[in-house]
Amino acid sequence: MKVGFIGIGQMGRHMSRHILNAGYSLTVNDINKAAVTPLLNQGAQWADNPGEVARSCDVVFSSLPTPSIVEDVVYGKNGLKSGWKPGDIFVDMSTNSPSTIRRIAADAAVMGISVLDAPVSGGTGGAEKGTLAIMVGGDTAVLEKVRPVLETMGKNIFPVGGIGCGNIAKLVNNLIALTTNAITGEGFVLGVKAGIDAKVLWDIIRVSTGNSWSLEQLPGTVFKANFEPGFKLSLGRKDLGLALTMGEETGVPLPIGEAVRESMDAAIAAGLSEKNVQAVILPMEEKNGVKVRIS
């Protein structure tokens, strides 16, 4: 099986490396050729555009920042569509809009191309370790064909339904995670302002009902004033926006998600878009005159 990978960013550079290390023939493409140099040095092949990747590969994976970029990779000049061959498989591992990937899958099917949406959870740490959770929407028979490649990136592979369902699962996960992240920041600002030591509060909540993934991140991020990504605030805001749009499309009001959007927008307005999502706490700290830190 000849494998292609498009999008060698914070996540994709690790995911593609695992594929290459497993012995697959790998062809890569990214808008920044310098990003793929380590892979090329290890034996990967370079393609000048997505169409070339499709022409030379049986299955192509993508890990891209936004739905519009995925659309450009598929439909744009020298996009995947220009190089697809009947029987090819396209696996989009981006956090995408369910309606966008469904449209791509419908167009691809006319050409004899199978499409899966397979967004991931686990962050850059999970990508680096090859321990990602992978949520796969689409035909299970197609999933079984690419399962060995997916297993190089993570063993927790969840078939979740038809095309688009992978992204439904991912967006619900991120809606919950980003909401928890924002309220964790608010709670710690409240606790410190009211007079409790941040470490003492963390020790209590960690073994109580308020524990969460967001809480577990605090020692390495907020407590040390370390807000380098990680999961960028701008990408988190994009994911939240996709979840809110899905709510509008399905007629489900998401008032708590709307409130979190305000908190994230305030942090982005403060110039923090390229920082970790935990940076949502910084405007809260400034407004209340406290710092949630431990020495």
Beta strand 89-92 with 114-117 is parallel
The whole-angstrom separation of Cα 148 and Cα 123 is: 21
pLDDT for position 230:
82
pLDDT for position 97:
97
The whole-angstrom separation of Cα 123 and Cα 95 is: 12
pLDDT for position 210:
97
Using CA atoms, how far residue 222 sits from 121, 184, 278, in Å, is 21, 11, 7
The whole-angstrom separation of Cα 88 and Cα 266 is: 44
The whole-angstrom separation of Cα 18 and Cα 87 is: 24
Q: Which of 170, 199, 275, 291 is catalytic?
A: 170
Residue the block writes with tokens 């790998």? 26
DSSP class of 156? E
Task: Enumerate the domain spans of the chain.
Answer: 2-162, 168-288
Instruction: Identify the three-state secondary structure at position 255.
Output: helix
Provide the token pair at 172: 């619900």
Per-residue pLDDT of the chain in tens (295 residues, 90 and over written 9): 999 999 999 999 999 999 999 999 999 999 999 999 999 999 999 999 999 999 999 999 999 999 999 999 999 999 999 999 999 999 999 999 999 999 999 999 999 999 999 999 998 899 999 999 999 999 999 999 999 999 999 999 999 999 999 999 999 999 999 999 999 999 999 999 999 999 999 999 999 999 999 999 999 999 999 999 889 999 999 999 999 999 999 999 999 999 999 999 999 999 999 999 999 999 999 999 999 999 8
Residue 193 bears catalytic tag? no
pLDDT for position 251:
98
CATH top class, domain 2-162: alpha beta
pLDDT for position 229:
86
CATH top class, domain 168-288: mainly alpha
Instruction: Write out the DSSP string of 177-216.
Output: HHHHHHHHHHHHHHHHHHT--HHHHHHHHHTSTT--HHHH
pLDDT for position 135:
98
